[in-house]
Structure 1
Amino acid sequence: MPDCIHGLEIPLCDSCFPKAVPEKPKVVRASSRTPRFAAVSTSKKSINTGAQRVYHVTHINNLEGILATGALLANAAPTVDLSTELTRELRSTARVCSDGRMVSEYIPFYLTPSATLWEQLREGAGDETRWSPAARAATTSDFVFLVSTVEALGEESVIADGDAAHSLTRFATGDSLTRMLERLHDSDDVQEAEALALAPFPIESVQLVGVSNDRMRDRVRKLTSVKVVVHPPWFVSAE
């Protein structure tokens, strides 16, 4: 499949290849089994929630360890720890839904490359209660995106409509997960939301690695066979 000017495959670049207006969904007979992530029909358009992209951001110096392990782990000791002890404590004591698991048992993903927390990192990680000195010392080009899809997060994935450690955040699993994704779609709230994958999250489920420049692309290509693309817009502040 040909690439766009950003190095992405056609289905992954909404700028070069905008989505066509979907055809009217076919009527499904009552006897048919509905897949977990069926396209959701709204007044505007149909949304394939399973194919929705999710983004995990990490420091380049953490990537080699992730690749060596073969997965993103919940209890990993990263080479560059971006979070403070307070952030880790809050996530280790916040419970997800009613399944007894804590937020810290999941791998966090953003639902958009313009997520609020990523914007904070791009602007210098000024919140000292959330971000570590290492996060403030990093430059934007030091980070990489590990891109996957909601479907690839697995059957036990969770969607949080805000900071997963916040007491007012609502969680969705199973059938309600699709409904929450529908509500978040094209809403400003999507910038605050998190997608959570129960750890470990295998590197095989990562579709591509997004980097900011050619130098970083060459560095990452030496580490992995996963497709690496240069996509500067993800690394530029929205301001």
Structure 2
Amino acid sequence: MAECIHGFDEGLCDICYPRTAPEPVRAVRTSTIRETRTTRASTPRVAGVVSAPPSLKLPGRRVFHVTHVRTLESIALDGALRADAVPDVDVSSATTRELRATATVPDGRAVAEFVAFALAQDSTRWEQLRDGAEGAHWSDAARAARPTEFVLLAVPVDALGADLVFADGDSGASGTRFAAGLDAGTAALRRLHASDPDFRDAELLAAGPVPLDAVAIVTVANDRVRDEVRTLFANAGLPAPRIAVYPPLFQSA
């Protein structure tokens, strides 16, 4: 997969691949769990309206995990992303954690037993978090944190193992549908393309633990955080992954 000098996949960097026209204004997204459930349940699924390209599949893609830099330090010391780890800065509200603990994937396991990744680099949840973390999804710690305090971990799907579940939306929402495994997940991803070609709400759940050496790129907001990430990896005795400094990804939408 081709990358630019900033560490992004070809076409994703606004510096190396400037947009030729302004993006359309996005519709206002819901900010509460109740509203999200209603929106997900009422979104029409019209297959075939927009044909998915033949190359659209889970293998070969990268997925993304947002975490606070203080939590990343604990992850580095542990050497892996784990679903049962207690984050140093917990951005999820108690309600969100309860919903993900009670929501189940097709084989009966709870969503909370998985490490969650966003399909989109600029996912809806990351947009909400850097826009002030309003609504019932987020904790007081999330609202108090600055966007520049977070980092974005990019992990190849191929490094996550076979025990994966694709979710076509927020994994804790009642209207979300799941597909287990790479083949079924790819089929669900292609169906979702018709109504959400950017996949901004979709998630990929990995049973984990996900070793930290599976991380391909850590994207940060500035040089200070880049140096902090390098130091915490060194203190943990781990080689630092590629670190991309890309301020636009940490700005409010």
| SS in structure 1 at match of 2:74 | helix
The match for 2:130 is 122
Q: Give the aligned partner of residue 4 of structure 1.
A: 4
Q: Which residue of 2 aligns with 1:64?
A: 73
Alignment correspondent of 1:196: 205
Contact persistence 2:4–2:10 (CA under 8 A): no
Equivalent residues in 2 for 1:10-49, closer than 5 Å: 11=9, 14-15=12-13, 16=16, 44-49=53-58
Identity of aligned residues (%): 48
More contact order relative to length (CA 8 Å, sep ≥ 6)? 2
Is the 1:83–1:131 Cα contact (8 Å) retained in structure 2?
Answer: yes
Which of 225, 229, 232 is matched with 2:247 structurally? 232
Give the secondary structure class of the aligned counterpart of 2:199.
Answer: helix
**What TM-score, normalized by structure 2, do the two folds share?**
0.76
Per the normalisation by structure 1, the TM-score is: 0.81
CA contact (8 A) 2:220 2:245 kept: yes
Query: Any idea what the Cα deviations from partners look like across 1:1-47, whole Å, max 9, x if unmatched?
Result: x9735x216x45534369xxxxxxxxxxxxxxxxxxxxxxx664523
Let me know the Cα RMSD of the aligned residues: 2.3
* 1:35-114 to 2 correspondences below 5 Å: 44-97=53-106, 99-114=107-122
Residues of 1 paired with 2:208 and 2:52: CA distance? 36
Q: 1:160 aligns with which of 160, 167, 187?
A: 167
Does structure 2 conserve the Cα–Cα contact (< 8 Å) formed by 1:162 and 1:189? no
Do the aligned partners of 1:108 and 1:194 also contact (CA within 8 Å) in 2? yes
Q: Deviations over 1:100-141 (max 9, x none)?
A: 2100000111111221111110110011x2111100000010
5+ residue gaps in structure 2?
19-50, 234-239
The equivalent residue for 2:138 is: 131
3-state SS, counterpart of residue 124 of structure 1: coil
| CA distance, structure 2, for counterparts of residue 91 and residue 3 of structure 1 | 34
Q: How many pairs align?
A: 211
Counterpart-to-counterpart distance in 1, 2:161 and 2:80: 14
Instruction: Identify if the C-alpha distance between structure 1 residues 102 and 3 changes in structure 2 by more than 3 Å, giving closer, same or farther.
Output: closer
- Give the letter for the 1:143 counterpart: F
Query: 3-state DSSP class of the match of 2:105?
Result: coil
Task: Detail structure 1 runs of 4+ shifted over 4 Å in the superposition.
Answer: 42-45
